Structures are given as C-alpha cells and as structure tokens.
Amino acid sequence: MMAVANNEPNNLETLENQLRALSHDDQVLTIIQDFADQLGKTKDRQKVFGAKGALVPQPIEYQDMLARGLVGDDEDAFALLQGDIVSSDAGYFLGERITNMKFAIASSTCDLVQGRRNYASLLRLQPIFSDAPDAKQLLSEMLKFKSTKRMYLPPLPGDSSNVLGNAVVFDGVIQIRLDDLLLATRHASLTLVGWRIFGSLVRTIMVRAGASETEMRSKA
C-alpha cells in the first residue's frame, strides 16, 4: 500500500502542522506583556487597565443583546458567560465548600447552557487591600502580566473603598454544579479585551508547553 503523503488531509502529521501554531501558542500573552511594558509604570498601567469599563462592565444580559441584534434568536439563550464575576456558596475546593467569595467562571460559555453539562469550573478572586503589606508588589506583578498565577481586575461593584483591585487566582480550580452556578449572583462580565486576556491566561495555564515537550512527544 502506498504511504499517505504528509500533505494529505487524512494524515495526522498534517493535522499536527495545522494545530502547531494554535493549541500551545503563547503569542497572545507576549503581545499583552509588550503592551503593558509600553504603558510605563504601575500607576500608568493601572490607569489604563483599571479604567471604568476597560475590563469589567456590568453583566452582559441576553435579552439586551437579543434586542440589539447582537445575538440571533436561533442561538442558545445564555444566563452566564465565560469570565463572568459571580458569587455563590455552592463551590467546592478539595472537598471543602468555599463561601463568602467571588469567582470568575472558567468554563466556556457554550458549556454554561442549562442541561449542557453537569459541572462547571470557577477561579477564586482575591481582593487586594490598600493596607496589605504586599499590595504594591502584587499590583506591579499583575499589571505586567509576567506571572500566570494571577490576573488583574479593577475594583468591582460592591467592593469596599480600600480595595485597590482584584486578583483572579489561577492556582486551584473550584468545582460547582451547573444548576447551582446558574443561581449565582452576577456582578460583572468581561469586555472583549478582558475576555481575550483571561482566555489567553487560562489556555497558558492548562496547555502551556515546556521547551523540550514538542521534541519529547514527537520521539516517544
């Protein structure tokens, strides 16, 4: 039997070549870091990323989007979006229920439709208080986007006056039943650029490739 050429559509090498620049690409994160670097000092970055509506507007509502023609009436009605900031006392981490905390929704929007999945994933929000000894360091680190441990968000509706910002914590995923999540309180959604940043960090955390991993896997 003649071997299938590498450029044939049913060859897995062709598929790998198509996926190579997409599934583990960190170019988006590099672009974000370069943009932040050009803004100058921490206060300048905070002014841009912390501006009202820059990263987190009011919750995006389905009926409003439908009325404005931004979604079709043939599309699934949504109650939640990926990246939404919510509060719920029904999430669990390592078997322990987490209460009195806000979360960012990590699950994809299409998986948040009722009946689509049984469970969803959340990421904890850590408020950065002005009197915390490491507040300045945390803000500087997050606003450079050099670390993939946390993502910067500005103060949210309902935050106390001494909250300088919030950190989406990527170390540790919270589990919640989707039916419970759909009853959560929504505090904010993410803007398009906020969602792009959030998505790039989630992807980097989940599928970041080590320097030798491509070579190792291709030769295994």
Residue percentage of the chain with pLDDT more than 90? 65
CA proximity to 199, closest of 74, 82, 89, 69: 82
Per-residue pLDDT band at 6 (split at 50, 70, 90):
low
**Which residues contact residue 158 at a Cβ distance below 8 angstroms, ignoring those fewer than 6 apart?**
187
pLDDT of 3 above 80? no
pTM: 0.86
The whole-angstrom separation of Cα 211 and Cα 197 is 23
119 has which bridge partners?
177
Question: Average pLDDT of the chain?
Answer: 88
pLDDT of 9 reads: 57
The whole-angstrom separation of Cα 32 and Cα 35 is 5
- Greater confidence (166 vs 10) lies with 166
Contact 42, 145 (CB under 8 A): no
- Greater confidence (205 vs 96) lies with 96
Contact 186, 81 (CB under 8 A): no
The whole-angstrom separation of Cα 126 and Cα 124 is 6
Write out pLDDT tens, residues 149-188: 999 999 998 899 999 999 999 999 999 999 999 999 999 9
What is the secondary structure of 76-95 as a DSSP string?
A: PP-S--TT-EEE-S-EEETT
Task: Quote the distance between the C-alpha of residue 64 and its chain's center.
Answer: 23
Hey, CA dihedral for 149, 151, 152, 153, is it positive or negative? negative
Residue percentage of the chain with pLDDT more than 70? 87
pLDDT of 23 above 60? no
pLDDT of 71 above 60? yes
Range scoring the smallest mean pLDDT among 9-18, 36-45, 108-117, 139-148: 9-18
Task: Please work out, in degrees rounded to the nearest 5, the angle formed at the alpha carbon of residue 195 by the alpha carbons of 189 and 201.
Answer: 130
Q: What is the pLDDT averaged over residues 26-54? A: 88
Write out pLDDT tens, residues 83-107: 999 999 999 999 999 999 999 999 9
The whole-angstrom separation of Cα 157 and Cα 140 is 22
Number of residues that make up the chain: 220
Domains belonging to the chain, first-starting first, are 40-208 (2.30.30.110)
